[in-house]
């Protein structure tokens, strides 16, 4: 698993990757869901994680974010160990997760949701300027700033979920199925914004079910199958039917 | 009894129960814990008033507030924090246990008999307003409650920490993923709840002048029931439900015919059953999951 194709030297000023996951294992009441996963994300890199339902994708990223305990293995962000920390500490270390399902605080307004995202803000940039920045990225949020989040459409909620997470100023942004349940137009809006977030220098890890799409979007895409990484694909593989089949049904 | 007078009495008792229910509802929001031991915080703060009243009202009220806040925070640190990841049923049973334990501790420390002191006895008098003979304490209770509700509302809607409490009450996991510190928010909520309990203790102690080991129990039981009929998953639900319980109790006391009035609580709970039959999740329960596109 260590000789994954990547472009380590090309994009990093130092030799250590930003996010380095080694032999990560997650068990739920003893039952393994993630069985020793290793991968890395370099600075400025966008990495995908695909695989069928129940492959362990969400468990992997929840463990990185501190929301579930890793039973063994390690994950470091710029050399700092993440496992064993609570979610609120992990955010302060610079890794933020937009969990699956948007998770809106329905009764809170768009602005209040954004203010919450800044609770663990790691940047010196004033909050008002930062909010203006995310509103530029997602204009709809400026328009609906006083609307309760529960009244937004699914696509708008996903934009809000990403926007409020950005206000923590993460170095490593992880998104769990950002396209889930969204209309094609909404998916375009979300991934267009992700493209710009990536271009601004944030490292991104995207968990998705939509294989072709993700492989084309990311610098590198790992395939997770039954709790293990099986393949690493580059954008060229997006239209390689054989590879995709292998990715999903095992080699 | 004059209608206006009984209305003020009912408003005052409703306000008192609303304060108890608010304290319980705030904690329920962040912990999914209906803290039965809230009554023992009230009792503790009431004992503090009784034992320190000779030191002067300012000192005594301050000590009582401190006891309320510290007791509530200790409950969180020593008991509920360790049980946070268990089921709501476990939390509830633990709070029952804690409640009984503290009652026995009070009994051991201060005896089974009530302890007395003339706490703010000046407030026990009456004033005549527009021909109505009103208890000063009733008016003070209503005013205190109004101020505290405004303060809590301001805190929840206008401050950053209040925003975090609201977020944690809606979805704690997501709040933590955004960086909301669980321990801090929960401890703060227990602290506020303890402070509210101390205010309740003050009003009750002025009224009765006597405190025993189970001083806070009846109030807590009724307020908890009130919180449930109002909809305990929302702060406003607890508040309104608590108010209705107090209001209804007081009104039944004033207006039930002689001979039936001793069955007052039966009438109150009949009302409770009717409400729950019609709205099982509470009068102001959240609408649950909203369908989204």
pLDDT in tens, A97-126: 999 988 899 889 999 999 999 999 988 889
Integer Cα distance of B226 and B18 in angstroms: 8
Contacts of B53 (CB under 8 A, 6+ apart): B60, B117, B118, B119
Q: Could you tell me the CA-to-CA distances from B76 to A75, B72, B83, B98, B235 in Å, in that order?
A: 32, 7, 9, 11, 19
For residue A117, give the chain B residue with the closest CA: B178
pLDDT of residue B120: 83
Provide mean pLDDT across the span B252-257: 86
Q: Please report where in the chains the tokens 């704690």 appear, as a residue.
A: B172
Strands B132-135 and B126-129: antiparallel
Q: Could you tell me the CA-to-CA distances from A198 to A170, A182, A217 in Å, in that order?
A: 12, 21, 11
Q: Could you tell me the CA-to-CA distances from B137 to B15, B140, B206 in Å, in that order?
A: 12, 5, 8
So what's the ipTM on this one?
Answer: 0.89
- A86 lies in which domain range? 8-245
Strands A220-225 and A203-208: unpaired
pLDDT of residue A249: 66
**Does residue A251 sit within a domain?**
no
pLDDT of B293 strictly over 50: no
CATH of the domain at A113: 3.40.50.300
Shortest distance between the Cα of A30 and any Cα of chain B, in A, equals 18
Shortest distance between the Cα of A9 and any Cα of chain B, in A, equals 32
Q: Could you tell me the CA-to-CA distances from B221 to A215, B28, B37, B96, B109 in Å, in that order?
A: 59, 15, 10, 11, 24
Integer Cα distance of A22 and A156 in angstroms: 35
Integer Cα distance of B96 and B213 in angstroms: 15
For residue A97, give the chain B residue with the closest CA: B177
pLDDT of A61 strictly over 60: yes
B-chain residues near A127 (CB < 8 A):
none
Interface of B with A in 132-171 (CB under 8 A): 160, 163-164, 166-167, 170-171
B-chain residues near A105 (CB < 8 A):
166-167, 170-171, 174-175
Shortest distance between the Cα of B282 and any Cα of chain A, in A, equals 18
Torsion angle, CA of B92/B95/B100/B101, rounded to 10 degrees? 140
Shortest distance between the Cα of B176 and any Cα of chain A, in A, equals 5
Which of these ranges, A162-166, B190-194, B234-238, has the smallest mean pLDDT?
B234-238
Residue among A86, A150, A168 minimizing CB distance to B178 = A168
Q: Chain-wide mean pLDDT for chain A? A: 89
Q: Chain-wide mean pLDDT for chain B? A: 91
**Does residue A213 sit within a domain?**
yes
**Does residue A208 sit within a domain?**
yes
- A2-60 tens-digit pLDDT: 444 443 444 445 568 999 999 999 999 989 999 999 999 999 999 999 988 889 999 99
Direct distance between the N- and C-terminal alpha carbons of chain A, in angstroms, rounded to an integer: 14
A-chain residues near B178 (CB < 8 A):
91, 96, 116-117, 119-120, 164-165, 168
Residues of chain B above pLDDT 70, percent: 97
Other beta carbons within 10 Å of B135: 18
Shortest distance between the Cα of A235 and any Cα of chain B, in A, equals 31
| B292 near A CB under 8 A | yes
In a mutational test of the A interface, the residue from B178, B188, B285 whose CB has the highest number of chain A CBs within 10 Å is B178
**Alpha-helical runs (H) found in chain A:** 8-11, 57-65, 87-93, 110-117, 127-137, 139-143, 154-166, 184-199, 211-217, 241-249
DSSP B290: P
Sign of CA pseudo-dihedral B32, A115, A82, A210: positive
User: How many folded domains does chain A comprise?
Assistant: 1
**Does residue A231 sit within a domain?**
yes
- B18-30 tens-digit pLDDT: 999 999 999 999 9
pLDDT of residue A13: 52
Integer Cα distance of A211 and A226 in angstroms: 16
**Does residue A127 sit within a domain?**
yes
In a mutational test of the A interface, the residue from B157, B158, B174, B286 whose CB has the highest number of chain A CBs within 10 Å is B174
Other beta carbons within 10 Å of A92: 18
What number of C-beta contacts closer than 8 Å exist between A and B?
73
pLDDT of A238 strictly over 80: no
Provide mean pLDDT across the span A139-151: 95
pLDDT of residue A155: 93
Strand, helix or coil for residue A177: coil
- B122-169 tens-digit pLDDT: 888 888 888 888 889 999 999 999 999 999 999 999 999 999 999 998
- B197-245 tens-digit pLDDT: 999 999 999 999 899 999 999 999 999 999 999 988 888 999 999 999 9
Q: Inspect the interface and report whether the beta carbons of A157 and B177 lie closer than 8 Å.
A: no
Provide mean pLDDT across the span B257-282: 87
Domains of chain B: 3-278 (1.10.3470)
Which of these ranges, A107-111, B84-88, B98-102, has the smallest mean pLDDT?
B84-88
pLDDT of residue B134: 86
B178 phi, psi to nearest 5 deg: -90, -5
Q: Inspect the interface and report whether the beta carbons of B177 and A86 lie closer than 8 Å.
A: no
pLDDT of residue A72: 94
Q: Which residues of A touch B (CB under 8 A)?
A: 65, 67, 86-88, 91-92, 96-97, 99, 103, 105-108, 112, 115-117, 119-120, 150, 153-154, 157, 164-165, 168, 183
Residue among B179, B290, B293 minimizing CB distance to A119 = B179
Query: Band of the pLDDT at B286, cuts 50, 70, 90?
Result: low
Q: Inspect the interface and report whether the beta carbons of B176 and A168 lie closer than 8 Å.
A: no
**Does residue A194 sit within a domain?**
yes
Residue among A87, A106, A157 minimizing CB distance to B177 = A87
**Does residue A250 sit within a domain?**
no
**Does residue A3 sit within a domain?**
no
Would you say how long chain B is, in residues? 293
């Amino acid at each position: 698993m260590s000789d994954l194709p990547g472009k380590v030297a090309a994009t990093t000023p130092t030799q250590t990757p930003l996010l380095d996951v080694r032999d990560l294992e997650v068990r739920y009441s003893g039952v393994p869901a993630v069985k020793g996963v290793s991968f890395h994300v370099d600075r400025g890199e966008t990495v995908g994680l695909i695989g069928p339902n129940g492959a362990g994708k969400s468990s992997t990223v929840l463990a990185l974010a501190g929301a579930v305990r890793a039973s063994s293995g390690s994950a470091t962000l710029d050399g700092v160990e993440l496992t064993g920390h609570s979610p609120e500490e992990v955010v302060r270390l610079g890794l933020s997760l937009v969990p699956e399902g948007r998770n809106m605080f329905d009764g809170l307004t768009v602005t209040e949701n954004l203010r919450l995202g800044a609770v663990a803000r790691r940047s010196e940039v004033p909050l008002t300027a930062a909010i203006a920045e995310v509103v530029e990225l997602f204009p709809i949020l400026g328009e609906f700033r006083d609307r309760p989040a529960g009244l937004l459409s699914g696509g708008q909620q996903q934009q809000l979920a990403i926007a409020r997470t950005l206000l923590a100023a993460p170095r490593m942004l992880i998104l769990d199925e950002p396209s889930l349940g969204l209309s094609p137009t909404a998916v375009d809006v979300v991934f267009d914004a992700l493209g710009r977030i990536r271009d601004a220098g944030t490292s991104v890890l995207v968990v998705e079910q939509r294989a072709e799409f993700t492989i084309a979007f990311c610098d590198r895409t790992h395939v997770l199958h039954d709790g293990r990484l099986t393949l690493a694909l580059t954008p060229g593989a997006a239209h390689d039917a054989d590879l995709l089949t292998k990715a999903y049904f095992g080699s | 009894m004059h209608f206006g007078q009984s209305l003020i009495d009912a408003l005052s008792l409703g306000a008192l129960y609303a304060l108890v229910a608010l304290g319980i509802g705030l904690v329920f929001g962040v912990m999914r814990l209906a803290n039965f031991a809230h009554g023992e915080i009230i009792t503790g703060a009431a004992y503090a008033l009784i034992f320190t009243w000779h030191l002067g009202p300012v000192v005594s009220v301050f000590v009582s507030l401190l006891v309320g806040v510290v007791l509530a925070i200790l409950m969180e640190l020593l008991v509920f924090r360790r049980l946070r990841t268990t089921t709501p049923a476990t939390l509830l049973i633990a709070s029952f246990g804690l409640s009984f334990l503290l009652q026995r501790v009070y009994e051991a420390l201060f005896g089974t008999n009530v302890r007395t002191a003339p706490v703010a006895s000046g407030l026990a008098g009456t004033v005549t307003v527009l021909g109505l003979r009103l208890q000063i304490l009733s008016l003070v209770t209503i005013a205190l409650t109004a101020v505290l509700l405004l303060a809590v509302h301001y805190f929840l809607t206008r401050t950053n920490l209040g925003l975090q409490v609201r977020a944690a009450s809606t979805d704690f996991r997501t709040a933590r993923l955004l960086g909301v510190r669980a321990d801090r928010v929960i401890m703060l909520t227990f602290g506020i709840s303890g402070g509210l309990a101390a205010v309740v203790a003050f009003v009750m102690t002025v009224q009765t002048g006597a405190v025993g080991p189970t001083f806070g129990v009846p109030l807590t039981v009724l307020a908890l029931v009130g919180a449930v009929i109002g909809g305990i998953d929302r702060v406003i639900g607890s508040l309104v439900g608590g108010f209705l319980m107090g209001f209804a109790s007081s009104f039944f006391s004033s207006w039930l015919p002689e001979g039936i009035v001793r069955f007052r609580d039966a009438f109150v709970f009949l009302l409770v059953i009717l409400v729950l039959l019609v709205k099982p999740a509470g009068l102001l329960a959240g609408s649950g999951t909203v369908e989204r596109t």
